[in-house]
Amino acid sequence: VQLQASGGGLVQAGESLRLSCAASGRSVSALNMAWFRQAPGKDREFVAAIRQSMSRTLYLDSVKGRFTISRDSSKNMVYLQMNNLRFEDTAVYYCAARNNWLVGVSTWSSSAVDYWGKGTQVTVSS
């Protein structure tokens, strides 16, 4: 499985961005897809996940109501729509996938990921 994230950029606080993740090797419907992020000097943290073949989603508390993860199986793509961005959302965002679903946000650690893509930088100016 290969994952390629794109769509990052520099925006002002309150603006929106949509990140895209192109998958190859397996269908995104057969994988549990996720987004992580890593800010400078901090550990990589879980942001959002969407369950394979289902619409169930999980979100980090601080992004609930602002971020939306979605999947387009026909294009084999996963998206992260980020609205009302904040300075603290500044980070490198990574697309990730796992073969088996994890039921809680706290269980989605970096070590639990089976496949990683390269990151895309999101910078939010205050």
Across 25-61, the runs of DSSP E, i.e. the strands, are 32-38, 45-50, 57-59
Mean pLDDT, all residues of the chain: 96
Q: How far apart are CA 83 and CA 36, in angstroms?
A: 16
pLDDT higher than 90, residue 55 = no
Cα separations (Å) of 68 from 1, 43, 95, 101, 116?
Answer: 23, 22, 14, 18, 20
What is the reported pLDDT for 96? 98
What is the reported pLDDT for 54? 78
pLDDT higher than 90, residue 108 = yes
pLDDT higher than 90, residue 47 = yes
What is the reported pLDDT for 123? 98
Over residues 91-118, the mean pLDDT reads 96
Amino acid letter, residue 63: V
